[in-house]
Amino acid sequence: MTQGAQKNDADTFFGLPSAWRQAFEFSQLGITGRFESEIADLVVFGEIPKELNGTFYRMMVDPLYPLMPDNPAIEGDGNICALRIQDGRVNMKNKYIETERLKLEKQANKRLFGLYRNPFTHHPCVRAAIDSTANTNVIYWAGRLLTLKEVAQPYEIHPDTLQTLGSDPLAFPANYIILVLWPFEAQLDRIESGGQHWLFSYDRPATFIAVPRRPDNLPAGWSKGESRVYHWENSVAIHTAGSWEGEDGKLYFESSRVFYNTLPWFEPPGEPDMRDLKADYVRWEIDINQPTGTKVKDPEIILDLPSEFARMDERFLTRTYDRMFVPVLLPHRPNTAPPVVPLCLNGYVMLEKGSNRRTFFDPGPYAAAEEPIFVPRSESATEGDGWVLAMVQRTDVNRSDLIVLDTRHFEKPVAVIQLPFRTKNQIHFNWVDNKERNDQVLPLVG
């Protein structure tokens, strides 16, 4: 294959310079987005289950203006995509989140914000602005659709028009919070000199902070306002699935685990440390009777495959659970899609932990598997009985497909919803059933 025929190759622009070149270099995906759309009646292959009536909300990182060089791929404006499933048909809409920073840049008609989380690289006129892109996650909470970013309050979005309604505070009640810290370091002198906010440390341990949520229900031996810090070896526990309090009084949670820097933009100077590219999914145990500084025991491996973005039947949050639905690197298929931080997951597994039964769905070659979501078959369905929805990127033909899997026959979709173009890769997404909105749903498209 000649260089000019390579898919998504930045050099097919004949060496011409562009402020947008960086957008085409990340993972060789060549997808810049930068549009808003409405599409009625998407093409459906198969039959969408009649019980599925709701909206699949995706959050995408989509810079409207060219990024400052050396920015990570997680920097960029939030763009929300909604796919409304109703009576077996699907409509789609996507819009930018009108954050304060995006409004300021639109007014100036240029990029005003510099490096990710480095205010010293921003234009002086915006250093007091809320530096949130609202580009990471979307949840439906207390009747409100909220888009989230780790560094700021969420923005509320109208669930039908996708208009931005404003920013809103948020808090969660329960018994414990487990804060999972990654081994990255922030140094003020580096930030002030225009460098990256974070750099990965190959010396720092994985860190977990246990925080009681209710001061009137403290563990034995804990004082009011106390939190405790626990460690394990240098590694990254990326995203978690379920967590619960055991009958033995210990805390348990499950997460992906890698032994390398998953964010290559934050690599310290020098050659990358490639000591161990192992990745798996594990169960952590935290004994909160132990003092701060205790090293936790080695986690139990529950899925020995590279995996991320696991989801579960969320009716069982804070309780023990059995079924997980996980994007993985399929053991029987070579990875033929371009890598995504730093490898591309290319299929899904339904893992039944009690029996270790694994049922795979293989979407085919040149596929990039994104985070799935589980929708129960009914309110009274047994755990994990229902449907799994997931967006699959077809990198060879620049198309995106929303896949619908029945957990009773996981190996083959019951429906494939085809988008007429390749959409941006999502960070996270969630499903909002029409019943959660008391069926008070307005048309998504005109």
Condensed to tens digits (0 to 9), the pLDDT of residues 288-303 reads 999 999 999 999 999 9
In this prediction, the residues of the chain whose per-residue pLDDT falls under 70 are 1-12, 21-32, 168-174, 271-276, 336-343
Two tokens at 151? 């560094």
Determine the pLDDT at residue 1.
34
pLDDT at residue 26 in the model? 52
| Nearest-angstrom CA–CA distance, 318 and 109 | 46
Contact 182, 199 (CB under 8 A): no
Q: Are 267 and 195 in contact (CB under 8 A)?
A: no
Whether 239 has a binding-site annotation, put simply, is: yes
**What pLDDT is stored for residue 390 in this prediction?**
98
Counts of helices then strands in the chain (DSSP H, E): 3, 27
Would you state the pLDDT for residue 6? 41
Distance CA 328, CA 359 (A): 12
CB atoms within 10 A of CB 38: 14
Instruction: Give the model's pLDDT for residue 434.
Output: 97
What pLDDT score does 418 carry?
A: 98
428 is in an annotated binding site: yes
Angstrom distance (rounded) from CA 404 to CA 416: 6
According to the model, what pLDDT value does residue 172 have?
36
Q: What is the pTM of this model?
A: 0.91
- Residue ranges with strand state E in 187-338: 199-200, 206-212, 228-232, 236-245, 251-258, 279-286, 300-303, 311-312, 323-328
pLDDT on residue 132: 93
Residue 103 in 3-state DSSP?
helix
For residues 172 and 140, the answer to whether their CB atoms sit within 8 Å is: no
Instruction: Provide the β-strand partners of residue 211.
Output: 177
Residue 338's beta-bridge partner residues? none
Cβ-Cβ contacts under 8 Å for 440 (sequence gap 6 or more): none
